[in-house]
Amino acid sequence: MFWSEGAKRWTGRWHFVGVRSATCRLLHRPQSLRMPDLFIVQANVHLGVGCQIGEYVVLGVPPRGMSSGDLATYIGPYAVVRSHTVIYSGNRIGARFQAGHGVLIRELNEIGDDVSIGSHSVIEHHVRIGNGVHVHSQAFIPEYSILEDGCWIGPKVTFTNAPYPQSPGAKAGLKGPHVMGGAKIGANATLLPGVVIGANALVGAGAVVVQDVADGKVVAGNPAREINDVSDLPAYNASLSA
């Protein structure tokens, strides 16, 4: 059981018990929430209407050096946060968010509407995620990454953000990948720091992307090289569905 100063434990059906008062604010009547037997909401967490929170979820964990409630956390309406997920404070998450089991989301991220994060994925701090983004299971998205609207991140994809880890000044130079709208990253691909994946581009499974990918291009291999245009792939050819 996780305990924290100022936290609340929710047990039973609609009752707070066992811990002193905090400033978790529900933006609606509690009856509109589906509550499990046990989860923890830290201070200054704001949940929209219709949220479903699974067992052993922890919401609003303060980052190092801060206290519970120092940063407000907002999770929009109709979110589903499944068991064992941990969301730090300072996040702003839009409507209809979906988190799988055991997801970790660090502090101070901006996450749009209709976003899903698969089981056991990690989103580090200061990440920007647009609307309609899908991040599949066991992906790693480090700080200062950008995922624009509608992009798709396959399972076990790894983003990186440190060109020279543990070198002097490494933290000052962190820069995550930038995945533009509609781009798709295949399973087990690795994106090096700061690369830009163009709009509607496709990165093949297992690729290691070391340089920018142009809009609408297909890349594969290690290092990843351009092999095709997305428009030439029958599965993505708009004329097939016309």
The backbone torsions φ and ψ at residue 31, rounded to the nearest 5 degrees and listed phi first, read -65, -15
- Report pTM: 0.85
Instruction: Quote the pLDDT of residue 151.
Output: 98
Half-sphere exposure in the Cβ direction for 172 (13 Å, CA): 3
- Contact between residue 49 and residue 35 where contact means Cβ atoms under 8 Å apart: no
pLDDT tens profile 159-218:
999 999 999 999 999 999 999 999 999 999 999 999 999 999 999 999 999 999 999 999
Question: For tokens 């990948």, what's the residue?
Answer: 177
CATH superfamily of 1-120: Hexapeptide repeat proteins (2.160.10.10)
Specify the 3-state DSSP secondary structure of 102.
coil
Say how far apart CA 96 and CA 51 lie, in whole Å. Answer: 8
Burial of 3 (0-12, 13-18, 19+ CB in 10 A): exposed
CA 2 to mean position of chain CA atoms: 22
Say how far apart CA 53 and CA 99 lie, in whole Å. Answer: 10
Q: pLDDT of the chain along its 242 residues, tens only?
A: 222 333 333 333 332 322 322 344 444 444 445 555 588 999 999 999 999 999 999 999 999 999 999 999 999 999 999 999 999 999 999 999 999 999 999 999 999 999 999 999 999 999 999 999 999 999 999 999 999 999 999 999 999 999 999 999 999 999 999 999 999 999 999 999 999 999 999 999 999 999 999 999 999 999 999 999 999 999 988 644 54
Instruction: Quote the pLDDT of residue 11.
Output: 35
